[in-house]
Amino acid sequence: MSQRTRIKLYAVLCMAGLLALAAREIDFGPTINLQRDIVILNDGIADEEMLAMLQDFLHRRFSLPVHVVKKPLALPAAARPKKPQWDMKDLLEAVISRVRGEGRCVLLTCKDTYTRDMNWSTGLARCNGTTAIVSVCRLNPSFWGDAYDRAWHYKRVRKIVLHELGHTFGQCDHCGDWACAIHGSGSIGEIDQTGEDYCKRCDAIANAAIAAIRGEPKTAR
């Protein structure tokens, strides 16, 4: 084998190793069943009370086991922000590449985030996907110059988590009903205007997806 061939082979092996590392699935341990459970992946949230609130809320709302886990999220170099904000799509893809299962994984992050068509964004998910990103940064009233109000902050977090999970449950478009959590919002004021839970129609879509996660047979129509 020539020196040049050896160097090429070494480079290929290094590249394969890096790709394997980037795509390695997160090991959540034996107590978490990603086929069924909801996992809140804590990305830098120091407010333990918020995490406990969300865990309890999602468990009561969907009757699925909910876990909060803190695992470092290895991001490819390309996902590092070029400004103080992080690209939601990069974060979503980083989680998708490391999580497998039919349950749901919500990355709850303290990072300030944007999307390619909005200069800030609080959430992103793929329709019928299993993963969602929610940033609590701009949901904090203090961000907008209001006095800190924990109940207000938590209410916004619940709404956005329900909204993004609703997309993963199969509500691909935004709902036209302002009273529904899956109504679209283009400002923090509009987030406050939207409802705190799904409308009847979006609830039915979510229920069908949750029944499938639980492995329940489809109900006859």
Return the active site residues.
Answer: 164
Residue 134 makes contact with Zn ion by CB under 5 A: no
Is 56 or 190 the residue whose CB approaches Zn ion more closely? Answer: 190
Buried b / exposed e across 144-160, counting CB within 10 Å, b at 16+? eeeeeeeeebbebbbbb
Is 65 or 195 the residue whose CB approaches Zn ion more closely? Answer: 195
Is 75 or 208 the residue whose CB approaches Zn ion more closely? Answer: 208
- For the bound state, the minimum distance from the C-beta of residue 183 to Zn ion, rounded and expressed in Å, comes to 7
Query: Residue 63 gets which letter from DSSP?
Result: -
Give the interface size with Zn ion as a residue count (CB under 5 A). 6
Residue 160 makes contact with Zn ion by CB under 5 A: no
Residue 136 makes contact with Zn ion by CB under 5 A: no
Residue 38 makes contact with Zn ion by CB under 5 A: no
| Neighbour tally for 181: CB within 10 Å | 26
Is 68 or 162 the residue whose CB approaches Zn ion more closely? Answer: 162
x/- site string to Zn ion, residues 168 to 207, per CB under 5 A?
Answer: -------x-x--x-x----------------x--x-----
Distance of CA 213 to the CA centre of its chain: 17
DSSP-assigned beta bridge partners for residue 106: 40, 132
- For the bound state, the minimum distance from the C-beta of residue 120 to Zn ion, rounded and expressed in Å, comes to 14
Q: What are phi and psi of 146, to 5 degrees?
A: -85, 160
* Cα distances (angstroms) measured from residue 35 to each of 55, 74, 81, 87, 130: 18, 22, 32, 28, 10
Binding interface with Zn ion (CB under 5 A): 175, 177, 180, 182, 199, 202
